[in-house]
Chains A and B, each alone.
Chain A
Amino acid sequence: MSAGATDAPVGVKLVSHFATVEQQKRAAVLGMWAWLLTELLLFAGLFLTALILRLLHPEAVQAAARHLKVWIGATNTVVLIGSSLTMSGAIQLSRLGWQRGMVRFMLATAALGTLFLMLKGYEYYADYHEHMMPFLSDRPYALKDSPPSRLFVNLYYVATGLHGLHLMTGITLLLVMTWQASRPGFLAQHQNRIEIFGLYWHFIDLIWIIAFPTLYVLNR
């Protein structure tokens, strides 16, 4: 089967309140970057909290960090780097107008995102088994001799949970967009949506690239 056979015209349809397509595309890119600014500062608050906990209670934070499953975290980082690659692929093909290949790359991206969430779910499950969920009041906590370690472990759940929520949002948006993008004529009207969404996806990846060392590696 040939992807080239489905070459589609690539472009963006002008919405009436803009003067030119160029202006419309610039607005969309800038808008997404402005949104990503807010995402960065949102997670920065959590990273700052992690740093302060480390400064206030170095031993307890180290003890907590050593209990986290660094190998699952590392595997998940690999998965997300892979999903960024497939997302870049989807963007490249959208520029070429290779619609069918682009849709496949988008599906692969969504699949890798889902794999990340499944691995994360398994990690939570393993944490639960090892009594590493201090926020559950009716379940004994593994490191009960070190009360401040609770704080770091709980923060780990808030940070990974919030990141997971962003990823889930990303996957949902991606699937909706894949469905739209598989229809003929999509690339002629909305090619830039792929690029804009790509920015968001890469940024969720970037947040994890910061979160992984902050939570799992730096405090060992």
Chain B
Amino acid sequence: MTSGTITGGPALRDPHTPDSRLGHGADYLHAEHTLRSWFFTTDHKRIALLYLASITAFFVIGAVTAGLVRLALVVPDGQVFTNDTYNKLFTIHGVVMVWFFLIPSIPATFGNFLIPLMIGARDLAFPKLNLASWYVFMTGALFTLASVVLGGVDTGWTFYTPLSTAFSNTWVVPALIGVTIVGFSSILTGLNFVVTIHTMRAPGMTWFRLPIFVWTHYATSLIFLLATPVITVALILLIAERAFHIGVFDPAYGGDPVLFQHLFWFYSHPAVYIMVLPGMGVISEIVPAFAQKKLFGYKFVAYAAIGLASVTFFVWGHHMFVNGQSDFASVAFSVLSFAVAVPSAVKVYNWTATIHKGSLKLDTPMLYAMGYIGLFVLGGLTGLYLATLAINQHVHATYFVVAHFHYIMVGGTVLAFLGGLHFWWPKITGRMYIEAWGRISAFLIFIGFNVTFFPQFILGYLGMPRRYHVYPPEFQFLNILSSAGSTILAVGYLFPMVYLVYSIWFGKRAPANPWDARGLEWTVPSPPPSHNFLTEPVAPKVPYDYPLQAQETGRQHS
């Protein structure tokens, strides 16, 4: 790239005008007010908000069904719902949370909003494609919601054959079509990010000057591109199986249901990193800002992101230890799975080393980030238990697994999402929320989460299987504890929905950089102007140029 000069488009404003003087109409939120200007926008920041609104709605659907599942599990005899209703509830919870919240959550909102700002670009490489991805997403959502309204699906989010093809009498096909379509929106988002990060960086913005957030989104986008098509084709085969009985997954004709699981997990295991990597990016931005300290081991963290995105493609078979895959394959997948711990641990050590001797400010985003680190460690370490063949035999398909992946998905991704939301909220909306409420919500969510999910480790270890709502009475105490925790969690979730929305109208106006953070996104006014940069962005010489810095080489003095 030879020049970052902005040519064409509306004339630039005088860069010396102070933020406060720009007034309304200057920023992307107030540039236009019509519905058309939102639904046909190609501004990456507005598209991010379209996504934010939609995934919040899906989060509510997923959370309500989770609440109903926990309600059912308060009593051991399964009297709250019929078996069918219970099956449909946990299926809706899984499908909606995985495909309509977790996967698009951070990339489609913060990724969309921040990547061009962080790399010093005016927009993503393909703005129309970006808008199209949202419409594709909503189309897929429509199909899936239709399947729920028509009567629901009872296969679980994994759609395993032969249950999904031969036995289920529910609305599987619309749900499958919905999930297939949503895959394309991921692909389009990933494609846009990959091309943007490669070609749209401002002059001087070399790879090792990029924030880790951009690195992790690059890694995530590669997974979007390389993994999603395989589940698309698996779901197409599943739809054909259900509609025409083509038989490739049907043992009655000599087909192999395990093949579906191979194709399914070739995507769905890397999908874990689609959910986790962007969260790691968020944490890598928050931690240095609130420790006022340079991110420890920047290059290691960057390489670890790419490492995770690659290693994750070699381990999918650890979801299939008890399904009839060969013993040799199980051993191979088990051994490879342990390798995932290495880049994950690199990240955790680097965050803790960044916090070490930092000048800490425990504001809301930092509270979420610290919660994230703790819960991610617990979720990650229990993942090692599950990768061990012998232990896996014992706890397979029990609540131990449920607890493990909720520590990663909720303790990891949701906390990172909320942390990021609080961190960039002033930038996105131009308003400050009330800090005290933010801290209360962070504590409530951390406590509620642990009370909900820690008992499930014990339940699973004692042998309570997932996906049943009838269980032996001796498990009732732990189940009630878990359900009680989920109500605390629900209150914790409600808080931000109230005080953040309140802040949009009544919050204090936010300065350009309320956290004294580094990164190009903090150099523009809050909220940013429609075309992002009033003056040509200047890439920082070093990323995370905070006042404090650890000595990375040689002995640590003092």
Partners in one complex: yes
Say yes or no for B480: interface residue by CB 8 A criterion. no
Tell me if A27 and B7 are in contact (CB < 8 A): no
Q: In the complex, what residue of chain A is closest to B259 when comparing beta carbons?
A: A52
Q: A194 vs B105: C-alpha distance in the bound complex, in angstroms?
A: 36
Tell me if A135 and B121 are in contact (CB < 8 A): no
* Least CB distance, B196 to chain A, in whole angstroms: 8
Tell me if A154 and B125 are in contact (CB < 8 A): no
Which of B18-26, B91-99, B233-241 forms contacts with chain A?
A: B233-241
Q: A86 vs B5: C-alpha distance in the bound complex, in angstroms?
A: 39
The residue among A14, A43, A44, A49 with the most chain B CB atoms within 10 A of its own CB is: A49
Tell me if B191 and A45 are in contact (CB < 8 A): no
Tell me if B230 and A34 are in contact (CB < 8 A): no
Tell me if B7 and A19 are in contact (CB < 8 A): yes
Q: A17-B127, A45-B230, A45-B234 are in contact. Are A135 and B244 (CB under 8 A)?
A: yes
Which of A71-79, A144-152, A174-182, A206-214 forms contacts with chain B?
A: A144-152
| In the complex, chain B residues 1-43 whose Cβ is within 8 Å of any chain A Cβ | 1-9
Residues of A within 8 A of B234 (CB): 45
Say yes or no for B369: interface residue by CB 8 A criterion. no
Which of B140-148, B248-256, B383-391, B415-423 forms contacts with chain A?
A: B248-256
Say yes or no for B345: interface residue by CB 8 A criterion. no
Q: Which of A20, A35, A48, A53 contacts B2 (CB 8 A)?
A: A20
Q: Which of B122, B126, B230 contacts A31 (CB 8 A)?
A: B126
Say yes or no for A129: interface residue by CB 8 A criterion. no
Q: A5 vs B42: C-alpha distance in the bound complex, in angstroms?
A: 40
Which of B67-75, B221-229, B334-342, B504-512 forms contacts with chain A?
A: B221-229
* Least CB distance, A51 to chain B, in whole angstroms: 10
Tell me if A34 and B191 are in contact (CB < 8 A): yes
Q: A34 vs B228: C-alpha distance in the bound complex, in angstroms?
A: 13
| In the complex, chain A residues 30-78 whose Cβ is within 8 Å of any chain B Cβ | 30-31, 34-35, 37-46, 48-49, 52-53, 56-57, 60
B131-175 CB contact bits vs A (8 Å, 1 = yes)? 000000000000000000000000000000000000000000000
B186-228 CB contact bits vs A (8 Å, 1 = yes)? 0100111011101110000000000000000000000001111
Tell me if A39 and B229 are in contact (CB < 8 A): yes
Tell me if B195 and A34 are in contact (CB < 8 A): yes
Say yes or no for B285: interface residue by CB 8 A criterion. no
Residues of B within 8 A of A162 (CB): 236
Residues of B within 8 A of A147 (CB): 253-254
- Interface residues of B, CB < 8 Å — how many? 48
Tell me if B195 and A30 are in contact (CB < 8 A): yes
Q: A151 vs B6: C-alpha distance in the bound complex, in angstroms?
A: 57
Q: Which of A23, A27, A37 contacts B225 (CB 8 A)?
A: A37
* Least CB distance, B116 to chain A, in whole angstroms: 9
Tell me if A41 and B230 are in contact (CB < 8 A): yes
Q: A165 vs B123: C-alpha distance in the bound complex, in angstroms?
A: 32
| In the complex, chain B residues 240-269 whose Cβ is within 8 Å of any chain A Cβ | 240, 244-248, 253-256, 259, 263
Tell me if B245 and A151 are in contact (CB < 8 A): no
Tell me if A150 and B259 are in contact (CB < 8 A): no
Tell me if B246 and A155 are in contact (CB < 8 A): yes
Q: A147 vs B246: C-alpha distance in the bound complex, in angstroms?
A: 11
Residues of A within 8 A of B248 (CB): 49, 53, 151, 154-155
Say yes or no for A138: interface residue by CB 8 A criterion. no
Say yes or no for B232: interface residue by CB 8 A criterion. yes
Tell me if A154 and B4 are in contact (CB < 8 A): no
Residues of A within 8 A of B123 (CB): 17
Residues of B within 8 A of A45 (CB): 229-230, 232-234, 237, 263
Tell me if B244 and A27 are in contact (CB < 8 A): no
Residues of A within 8 A of B195 (CB): 27, 30-31, 34
Tell me if A148 and B254 are in contact (CB < 8 A): yes
Q: In the complex, what residue of chain B is closest to A50 when comparing beta carbons?
A: B248
Residues of B within 8 A of A16 (CB): 6-9, 122
A142-175 CB contact bits vs B (8 Å, 1 = yes)? 0000011011001101100010000000000000
Tell me if A23 and B229 are in contact (CB < 8 A): no
Q: A19-B1, A154-B240 are in contact. Are A35 and B233 (CB under 8 A)?
A: no
Tell me if B199 and A27 are in contact (CB < 8 A): yes
* Least CB distance, A195 to chain B, in whole angstroms: 16
Tell me if A150 and B247 are in contact (CB < 8 A): yes
Tell me if B256 and A158 are in contact (CB < 8 A): no
Tell me if A56 and B256 are in contact (CB < 8 A): yes
Q: A16-B7, A22-B2, A57-B254 are in contact. Are A154 and B230 (CB under 8 A)?
A: no
| In the complex, chain B residues 81-139 whose Cβ is within 8 Å of any chain A Cβ | 121-123, 125-127
Q: In the complex, what residue of chain B is closest to A48 when comparing beta carbons?
A: B263
* Least CB distance, A191 to chain B, in whole angstroms: 18
User: Given contacts A46-B233, A48-B263, A151-B254, could you give 18 more A-B pairs where the C-beta distance is less than 8 Å?
Assistant: A14-B8, A16-B9, A17-B121, A17-B123, A19-B3, A23-B1, A23-B200, A37-B225, A42-B232, A44-B229, A45-B229, A45-B233, A49-B237, A49-B248, A135-B244, A151-B255, A155-B246, A158-B236
15 A-B pairs within 8 Å (CB atoms) are namely A20-B3, A26-B199, A27-B199, A30-B195, A31-B126, A34-B191, A34-B195, A41-B229, A45-B229, A45-B233, A46-B233, A60-B254, A154-B246, A158-B240, A162-B236
